[in-house]
């Protein structure tokens, strides 16, 4: 049996403007210009450039609500719209968050790519069959940005068959791979780390000649060929027993291996066929005579305004329809213009709100971590969580999280990631609260100063931290060590 019931529900829905603002908050300065370009292309009512000799016009919240709630007659709307002069909407406001008037373009490194370097060497190969050239081009096209060949021979065979209609045997592909492995840089085209290091070691011996081959190099080849697992896991005692060598001989052999490059393409300027990545700080903090000064970095953020041409279109309509009813086509055209202008105003407002939100959040972080920004001493960082800044700014925790994500601040002590300043608190033995960042820094200092012949275990690190006044569990020590990308004691051992 069907029934109808009345019920009341309280629901919170985000408006398109709020969604747009949240997305803009997540965008770092380095990519903001791309987002603005996309909006400029999508909305012809949005224009780039300053408006001269006009006052800034801002709608109040009440006016926004009024526009959303009331359905104006077209002529009444136009009359009010023309009086408001929406064209004066622009991003430049009386409250300037930035003094950065430098060139706004991000520098881009222009250079030849790693694969171009390999292609040039293919052209110098001696071959009798055109097939060899095509196989070689397929092989180097399969080499990744580190210089490794990650595809199997059978996969390369299939690629050649489907893409170029060339049927080759896997043995032919292997022969070409061995030719490519003689290219520069040494170690290129290896299938794994063991092969990469072995190629480099053997190339080095061949270059220096049989007579100058040292025992340490011979041992290095043996280790890489027959005892790579023991070497990679630093089972040095087992290596000594298996090879019947002394500790000094093993040390010399390992030093030869450590001179090799595990990523042969890393030293090439154009590796990866990508432009170099630049960190563009979102905030800049200056110490001006003992006072911290915060500015927003507005690079790559052009001034925006509503397009003048759309204002003229509205004026023209207002003039031509005066004293008569508008036709359906005229109404549709004007409503289209209204929609585009409103969209442009919403975007400009979102950019303004983004600037204000970023500034207020960073200013609160700067005040909270004032001692660090004055001294640069990471031990002076206070425990700080998202809720602390949320309470100071009055913004939601999710908003603070969006601001902190992928943002950087430039200080006189270097450019820092904003998320670095957030950390949980830890109670020291004297009862005071300290930042977990401080404990991690001390843990890193202890490991740096340890005897690498006998590195500290996690249990020993726990004891050493307790002596410095930090009581934490061994598993917490292991967690912090992993967060610092520091391996276990066995892998830190050196001869």
| Residues 366-403: tens digit of each pLDDT | 999 998 899 888 778 888 888 889 999 998 888 888 88
- Residue 220's nearest CA partner among 242, 202, 236 is 202
- Residue 76's nearest CA partner among 242, 248, 280, 321 is 321
CA distance 267 to 444: 28
Ordered structural domains, the chain, with CATH: 16-100+295-399 (no CATH), 114-258 (no CATH), 423-492 (1.10.10.60)
pLDDT tens per residue across span 20-75: 777 888 778 878 888 888 888 888 888 877 655 443 334 334 443 444 443 344 55
- Residue length of the chain: 495
pLDDT tens per residue across span 431-477: 677 778 778 888 888 898 888 888 888 888 988 888 888 888 888 88
Convert 311-339 to b/e letters by CB count within 10 Å (16 or more is b): bebbeebeeebeeeebeeeeeeebeebbe
pLDDT band for 339, please (50, 70, 90 cuts): confident
Q: How far is CA 58 from the centre of its chain?
A: 35
Average pLDDT over residues 146-164: 88
Residue with the two structure tokens 């690079």? 299
- How crowded is residue 121: how many other Cβ atoms within 10 Å of its Cβ? 16
| Phi/psi at 326 (5° precision) | -75, 145
Average pLDDT over residues 195-209: 81
| Phi/psi at 394 (5° precision) | 80, 5
- Residue 299's nearest CA partner among 438, 375, 454, 410 is 410
Percent of the chain with pLDDT over 70: 77
pLDDT band for 365, please (50, 70, 90 cuts): very high
Q: Is the dihedral of CA 309, 310, 311, 314 positive or negative?
A: positive
- How crowded is residue 439: how many other Cβ atoms within 10 Å of its Cβ? 21
Q: Which pTM was predicted?
A: 0.57
Distances (CA, A) of 297 to 85, 281, 301, 355: 30, 7, 9, 10
pLDDT tens per residue across span 87-141: 456 665 555 565 544 444 444 444 557 777 888 888 777 666 778 888 888 888 8
Which pLDDT value is given to residue 165? 84
Average pLDDT over residues 334-356: 84
Which pLDDT value is given to residue 284? 92
Residue with the two structure tokens 């220096």? 208
Convert 14-28 to b/e letters by CB count within 10 Å (16 or more is b): eeebeebbeebbebb
């Amino acid at each position: 049996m069907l029934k109808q019931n009345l019920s009341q529900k309280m629901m919170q829905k985000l408006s398109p403007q709020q969604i747009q603002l949240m997305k803009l908050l997540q965008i770092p300065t380095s990519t903001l210009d791309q987002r603005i370009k996309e909006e400029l292309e999508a909305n012809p009512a949005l224009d780039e450039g300053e408006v001269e000799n006009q006052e800034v016009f801002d709608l109040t919240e009440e006016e926004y609500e009024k526009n959303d709630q009331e359905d104006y007659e077209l002529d009444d709307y136009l009359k009010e719209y023309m009086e408001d002069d929406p064209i004066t909407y622009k991003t430049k406001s009386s409250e300037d968050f930035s003094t950065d008037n430098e060139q706004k373009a991000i520098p881009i490194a222009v250079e030849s790519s790693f694969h171009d370097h390999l292609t040039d060497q293919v052209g110098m190969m001696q071959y009798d069959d055109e097939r060899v050239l095509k196989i070689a081009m397929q092989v180097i096209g399969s080499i990744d940005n580190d210089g490794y060949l990650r595809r199997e021979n059978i996969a390369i065979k299939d690629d050649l068959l489907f893409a170029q209609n060339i049927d080759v045997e896997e043995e032919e592909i292997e022969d070409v791979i061995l030719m490519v492995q003689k290219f520069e840089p040494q170690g290129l085209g290896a299938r794994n780390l063991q092969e990469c290091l072995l190629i480099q070691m053997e190339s080095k011996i061949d270059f220096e000649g049989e007579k100058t081959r040292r025992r340490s190099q011979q041992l290095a080849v043996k280790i890489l060929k027959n005892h790579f697992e023991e070497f990679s896991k630093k089972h040095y005692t087992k290596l000594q027993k298996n090879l019947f060598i002394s500790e000094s001989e093993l040390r010399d052999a390992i030093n030869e291996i450590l001179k090799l490059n595990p990523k042969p393409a890393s030293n090439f300027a154009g590796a990866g066929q990508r432009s170099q990545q630049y960190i563009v700080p979102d905030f800049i903090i200056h110490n001006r005579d003992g006072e911290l000064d915060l500015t927003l970095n507005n690079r790559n953020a052009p001034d925006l305004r509503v397009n003048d041409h759309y204002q003229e279109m509205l004026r023209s309509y207002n003039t031509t329809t005066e004293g008569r009813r508008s036709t359906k086509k005229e109404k549709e055209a004007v409503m289209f213009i209204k929609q585009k202008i409103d969209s442009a105003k919403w975007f400009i407002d979102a950019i303004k709100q983004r600037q204000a939100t970023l500034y207020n959040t960073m200013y609160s972080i700067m005040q909270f971590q004032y001692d660090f920004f004055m001294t640069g001493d990471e031990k002076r960082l206070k425990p700080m969580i998202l809720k602390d800044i949320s309470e100071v700014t009055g913004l939601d925790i999710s908003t603070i999280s969006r601001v902190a994500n992928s943002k950087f601040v430039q200080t006189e002590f270097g450019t820092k990631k904003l998320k670095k300043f957030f950390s949980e608190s830890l109670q020291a033995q004297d009862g005071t609260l300290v930042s977990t960042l401080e404990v991690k820094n001390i843990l890193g200092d202890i490991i740096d100063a340890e005897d690498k012949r006998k590195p500290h275990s996690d249990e020993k690190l726990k004891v050493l931290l307790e002596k410095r006044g930090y009581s934490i569990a061994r598993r917490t020590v292991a967690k912090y060590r992993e967060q610092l990308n520091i391996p276990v004691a066995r892998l830190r051992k050196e001869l």
